[in-house]
């Protein structure tokens, strides 16, 4: 593709791709010079041009040397739009899920439902890129825009035509998933998180709402979980945009959730669709899992799925890695569950999900990530103390912070908790303490297979550690 095919008045230069890291620029690339968290791309324009950049997307008036200057008042968005035009075509059915909690489970459940309906499908998010055949880890909920678009285009070439991806607040704010046709957006819930990045909760919410205000294509649709305090505000935005609305939950018009009761292997849900009430035997525990399943079902319906097929698939869903995943049953007969919960609301939801299955005590082990929102640490301690029988505060990913300081901040909300430095030791202590009838919850890291200490990523998988310590 020639530059003039992408940009009016552009040269005849051949475009070979896009780059946001000057070190990855090759001959024929278009370079995006915008500010990141640590670096300003404008400082590396000269190096990018020396490496062969034929054009640079940047602010008006910035010197781009011999490369063609593409001026923009919103560099990230315009770079994304240009890149999207270059990398396409893309899968026909693309849906995006936003919300504080539940994104990973919802996109993966959507993929599973599509697969059981005979569609070739994939999901993109915290777990990486997951298809029916493989999983590729990315380490990010929302990869950079170049990786995102090239992955999407690659899946189209593989014959995948249904993709669900996580739309994080960071990704939406930084235009990391733009330019391609998003058919449906979904909202799960909203609570405190990422205030180390967003100035306040209003800005955090506004970032998420870009999905419905701008990213979903004109004439598209939205699926909204009705049982969150912010749901009505989301619905108002969806209606204001003119998107087709699908609502699910206890007030849902598309799928209405009635009585929910726990079963030994999951839960039974009375749900109503199109005036017909049915009993769904869901092989997953937890109220929030029910919510994720209904949002995923709504996405499948919004993409043209038939209710009979969607309902049948819901009853055959498999657990999502690190989301209330049963890792092992200890030698004393206590199940050990691993969950990604790392906010007060998510931790409370995970504990509530397990509580109906507890005959003895619920033992909760958790920590908090370093270099992240410190204001949620004490509230997490309060939640754990209020809803668990035994609380063990330990380390999560301390990163550059002192682990002892993080634990002390958590224990301001849980002064009677047991403090154990070293996550493996804490897990071992919890399993040793647990008796038959008890349940152990290991919260915070979920699917992660490494622990970030300083500038090192040390191998650590809660599931594997639990299995080793349960022997």
The secondary structure of 6-43 as a DSSP string is HSTT--SPBP-EEESSGGG--TTEEEE--B-SS-BGGG
451: which 2 tokens? 């622990």
Distance CA 155, CA 124 (A): 11
Strand 128-131 with 135-136, pairing = antiparallel
The secondary structure of 415-455 as a DSSP string is TTSEE-SSHHHHHHHHHHH--TT-EEEEES-TT--EEEETT
Q: What's the pLDDT at 193?
A: 67
Q: Which of 398, 380, 392 minimizes the C-alpha distance to 442?
A: 392
Distance CA 119, CA 357 (A): 35
Contact, 281 vs 290, CB < 8 A?
no
Distance CA 390, CA 361 (A): 7
Distance CA 257, CA 113 (A): 19
SS3 229: coil
Strand 276-282 with 266-273, pairing = antiparallel
Q: What's the pLDDT at 272?
A: 98
Q: What's the pLDDT at 136?
A: 56
Peptide bond into 455 cis (omega under 30): no
Q: State the virtual CA torsion across 138, 142, 145, 148 in degrees, nearest 10.
A: 60
Buried b / exposed e along 97-118 (16+ C-beta atoms within 10 A): bbbbbbbbbbbbbbbbbbbbbe
SS3 296: helix
Residue whose tokens read 């992660």: 448
| Reported pTM | 0.83
SS3 281: strand
The CA R_g of the chain, rounded to the nearest whole Å, is 23
* Sequential pLDDT tens for the chain (471 residues): 999 999 988 888 999 999 999 999 999 999 999 987 778 999 999 999 999 999 999 999 999 999 999 999 999 999 999 999 999 999 999 999 999 888 999 999 999 999 999 999 999 988 889 987 655 554 444 579 999 999 999 999 999 999 999 998 888 999 988 899 999 999 999 986 666 766 688 899 999 999 999 999 999 999 999 999 999 999 999 999 999 999 999 999 999 999 999 887 789 999 999 999 999 999 998 888 999 999 999 999 999 999 999 999 999 999 888 888 899 999 999 999 999 999 999 899 899 999 988 999 999 999 999 999 999 999 999 999 999 999 999 999 999 999 999 999 999 999 999 999 999 999 999 999 999 999 999 999 998 999 999 999 999 999 999 999 998
């Amino acid at each position: 593709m020639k530059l003039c095919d992408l940009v009016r008045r552009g040269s005849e230069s051949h475009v070979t791709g896009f780059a946001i890291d000057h070190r990855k620029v090759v001959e024929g690339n278009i370079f995006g010079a915008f500010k990141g968290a640590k670096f300003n791309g404008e400082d590396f324009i000269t190096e990018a041009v020396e490496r062969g950049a034929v054009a640079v997307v940047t602010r008006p008036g910035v010197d781009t040397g011999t490369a063609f200057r593409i001026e923009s008042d919103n560099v990230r968005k315009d770079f994304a739009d240009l890149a999207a035009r270059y990398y396409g075509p893309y899968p026909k059915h693309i849906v995006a899920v936003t919300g504080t909690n539940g994104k990973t489970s919802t996109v993966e459940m959507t993929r599973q439902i599509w697969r059981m309906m005979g569609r070739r499908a994939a999901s993109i998010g915290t777990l990486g890129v997951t298809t029916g055949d493989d999983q590729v880890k990315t380490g990010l909920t929302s990869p950079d825009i170049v990786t995102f678009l090239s992955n999407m285009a690659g899946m189209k070439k593989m014959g995948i035509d249904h993709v669900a991806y996580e739309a994080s607040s960071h990704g939406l704010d930084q235009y990391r998933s733009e330019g391609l046709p998003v058919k449906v957006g979904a909202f799960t819930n909203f609570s405190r998180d990422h205030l180390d990045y967003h100035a306040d909760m209003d800005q955090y919410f506004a970032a998420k709402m870009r999905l419905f205000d701008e990213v979903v294509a004109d004439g598209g649709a939205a699926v909204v979980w009705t049982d969150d305090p912010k749901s009505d505000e989301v619905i108002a935005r969806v209606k204001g945009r003119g998107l087709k609305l699908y609502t699910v939950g206890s007030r849902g018009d598309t799928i209405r959730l009635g009585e929910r009761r726990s079963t030994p292997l999951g839960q039974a849900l009375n749900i109503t669709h199109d005036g017909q009430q049915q009993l769904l035997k869901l092989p997953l525990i937890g109220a929030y899992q029910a919510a994720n399943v209904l949002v995923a079902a709504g996405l499948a319906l919004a993409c043209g799925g038939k209710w009979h097929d969607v309902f049948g698939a819901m009853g055959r869903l498999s657990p999502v890695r690190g989301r209330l995943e049963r890792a092992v049953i200890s030698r004393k007969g206590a199940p050990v569950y691993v969950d990604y919960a790392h906010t007060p609301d998510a931790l409370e939801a995970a504990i509530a999900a397990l509580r109906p299955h507890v005959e003895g005590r619920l033992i909760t082990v958790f920590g908090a990530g370093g270099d992240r929102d410190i204001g949620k640490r004490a509230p997490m301690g309060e939640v754990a103390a209020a809803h668990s029988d035994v609380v063990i505060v330990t380390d999560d990913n301390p990163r550059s912070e002192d682990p002892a300081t993080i634990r002390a901040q958590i224990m301001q909300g849980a002064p009677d908790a047991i403090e154990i430095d070293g996550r493996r030791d804490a897990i071992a202590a919890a399993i040793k303490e647990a008796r038959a009838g008890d349940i152990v919850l290991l919260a915070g890291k979920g699917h992660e297979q490494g622990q970030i200490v300083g500038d090192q990523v040390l191998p650590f998988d809660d599931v594997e550690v639990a299995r080793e310590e349960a022997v």
